[in-house]
Each structure stands twice: as C-alpha cells, then as structure tokens.
Amino acid sequence: MMGLILYGIMQGVTPLRALERLARLDLGCMWVSGGIHPDHANIGRFINIHEASLTGDFFDEMVQSVLKETNSGGQRLAGDGTTIEAACSNYNLIKEEAARAAQEEARKQADKAPEDPK
C-alpha cells in the first residue's frame, strides 16, 4: 500500500480515486505496489490508520535507505520526462497568426468608420 501511495506522489497523483485508478492501469505502479489494487476507501483507511507514522522523518529515512540499497548518491540528477510546450511551438505560431489576422481585421474596420467607438 505504501508503494502505491509513494508511486502516486512521485507521479503527481494524490486524490484517492486517482490512486485507485493508477493502481489498476499503470504497469509501473502495479510493479511497485506488488500488484495490489485497493479501492479509494481502503487507501484512505490505510492513510488514516498510519497517519502518525507518515511523517517527514519517515520519508527522509526511506530516501536514505533507498539511496544506500541502490548505492546511489544524492549528487545525480535525473529528468522526469515532463513535456513543456515551447514558446516557439506550432500552437503558439497558430495563435500568433490568429491574433495578427484579428488585429488586421480590426484595423480595416477602424479605417472604414474612424468615428465608431467599437
């Protein structure tokens, strides 16, 4: 159960129903959690029962333990695969073209009726 919760946190998934869905659909989550797929109510109960144990110190110790077991150091950095839309992406180009077309249309309308406040 703890593997499911930690995997969810690492994936940015914290709602209980989303954790339930993650446990059923994500292969990485299935591997980390040992194949369990509890419903959201059981996940919530687990968190409530073990609330006193799930502290910052617990997570710090666990990270240190994982680093020790894997012979890893904290110096290495890994990308998380986040995709970020670039400022020069095709979508922004389309938006820019649409904005320029709207601006040109507004200029034409202003030239036709310069006294009209619209």
Tell me the pLDDT tens digit for each residue of 15-46.
Answer: 999 999 999 999 989 988 888 889 999 999 99
pLDDT for the residue numbered 43: 93
Average pLDDT of the chain is 82
Tell me the pLDDT tens digit for each residue of 62-117.
Answer: 878 877 887 777 666 566 666 666 555 566 666 777 888 888 988 888 888 877 77
Is pLDDT at 49 greater than 90 in this prediction?
yes
| pTM, two decimal places | 0.53
Closest by Cα among 27, 38, 29, 28 to 4 = 29
Is pLDDT at 51 greater than 60 in this prediction?
yes
pLDDT for the residue numbered 92: 60
